Amino acid sequence: MPVWFGLMTSPPTTQCRPPVLPMHVLPIRGLEPLPIPASQAGSTGSSSARCSLSDSGINMIKLKQLIAATLLLSTAFGVHAERLKDIASISGVRANQLIGYGLVVGLNGTGDQTTQTPFTLQTFNNMLSQFGIKVPSGSGTVQLKNVAAVAVYADLPAFAKPGQTVDITVSSIGNSKSLRGGALLMTPMKGVDGNVYAIAQGNLVVGGFDAEGRDGSKITVNVPSSGRIPGGASVERSVPSGFNQGNTLTLNLNRSDFTTAKRIVDKINELLGPGVAQALDGGSVRVTAPLDPGQRVDYLSILENLEVDPGQTAAKVIINSRTGTIVIGQNVKVSPAAVTHGSLTVTITEDPIVSQPGALSGGQTAVVPRSRVNAQQELHPMFKFGPGTTLDEIVRAVNQVGAAPGDLMAILEALKQAGALQADLIVI
């Protein structure tokens, strides 16, 4: 049984009544619904009894008009709706990582010290041998101050075709101080399967610089040992894709959530008909798709622009113990609890004095240490959290006692241990 797209026009001669508006319907060839359990089947009879349909093919102009009207309605009534493309991806449609090893030349004396990085000289000799140049033996101590060994890496986008270009990143793997002003020589870039998918070459764009004086003083801005080459790699081979295989596609949610998965299924089935979408788990939704590649592209263009109201995120508190950063989610609540937090500050001051002996006493001048130790206990008042306390109330109460980020970390950890913090406490 084909899946039907409804066009909101005048009522048809046969009775075909969706939940809200009467519709004319058009079939998409090769698009079959997923099996529907008998318990969910309608009691109004078969689809042939509901509508008299034609198999004359899909009218894409009318289909796009329907989708435009549907998206307009979803925009008007959606409060926190997000596009499906922003919260999910298509299984199998992904980028692939490429990596290569090469040489950067043309550096202004900031290349590798080849006595400490012999692989740079070895790579350079191998390159020269490919051009018929034989390096004399015993040249292992040669310093190539303008050459550096580098790692080259990039992401190969989905559906990238031969002849297209991708941006690449070049990073020094030796002891080169700066790649500024250098040029990357032809470097093959391989995938995890060992095949070459792109060739990289070009002049580097380096945002940092490094300068050093003869007395050893130096200044470094940003990271001069890494750079970029926009469009620096030319694609030589496409990655096989299963995009056009089978009559189903799987949508993978960026963040697993059963509520979001259910709402995606409901939204797709509301637009395209019952059984078109089916949730596999909290992170995946399977949808039927046309067999024709051209129709499949139009079909996915429709799906990825549907607006779905995602489920609320789980309550979390994220603590970065290294930087003191604390992020509290919107849904974090606290059970009834009373909190007080004080800190002991110990200050040690070193104030050495000089002991000067009297004249003709035979003594020696000496520095005598003198230390002063001061301990101060900071007392903070106790504040109380009532039932269902929200994020705003937590922040306001903590700010009133003047707690620093470190104090707030201790308070949150204590609340979690007491069972009063209704959220996941994650320390990164």
Write out pLDDT tens, residues 51-86: 333 333 444 555 555 555 555 544 444 446 889 999
Residue 3 has pLDDT above 70, yes or no: no
15-24, Cβ contacts within 8 angstroms, sequence gap of 24 or more: 15/50, 15/51, 16/50, 16/51, 17/50
Q: How many CB atoms lie within 10 A of CB 328?
A: 19
Global pTM reads: 0.64
pLDDT mean over 322-336: 80
DSSP codes of every residue in 95-146: -EEEEEEEEEE--SS-S--TTT-HHHHHHHHHHHHHTTPPPPTT-TT---TT
Whether 368 shows a pLDDT value over 50: the answer reads yes
| φ/ψ (deg, to 5) at 157 | -65, 160
pLDDT at 14: 39
- pLDDT, mean over the chain: 76
Taking the mean position of all CA atoms in its chain, how far away is CA 77?
29
More confident residue, 56 or 96: 96
Q: What is the pLDDT of residue 374?
A: 65
Pairwise pLDDT comparison (320 vs 67), residue with the higher score = 320
- The reported pLDDT for the residue numbered 167 is 96
Q: What is the mean pLDDT of residues 356-361?
A: 72
46 has a pLDDT exceeding 50: no
C-alpha distances out from residue 113 to 59, 145, 184, 257, Å? 67, 7, 18, 53
Q: What is the mean pLDDT of residues 133-150?
A: 79
pLDDT, tens only, 201-248: 999 999 877 777 766 677 777 888 999 999 999 999 999 887 888 889
For residue 342, what pLDDT is reported?
66
DSSP per-residue string spanning 297-365: HHHHHHHHT-EE-PPPPPPEEEEETTTTEEEE-TT-EE-SEEE---EEEEEEEE--EEE-PPTTS----
Q: Is there a contact between 383 and 401 (Cβ–Cβ < 8 Å)?
A: yes
Q: Residue for token digits 């008998």? A: 38
Between residues 422 and 60, the one the model is more confident about: 422
Query: What is the CB neighbour count within 10 angstroms for residue 37?
Result: 7
Answer yes or no: is pLDDT of 141 > 90: no
pLDDT category at 280 given cuts 50, 70, 90 is: very high
Between residues 117 and 404, the one the model is more confident about: 117
- Listed in sequence order, the residues at least 6 apart from 203 whose beta carbon sits closer than 8 Å to its beta carbon are 182, 183, 184, 229
Which of 8-22, 332-346, 347-361, 370-384 bottoms out in mean pLDDT, i.e. has the lowest?
A: 8-22
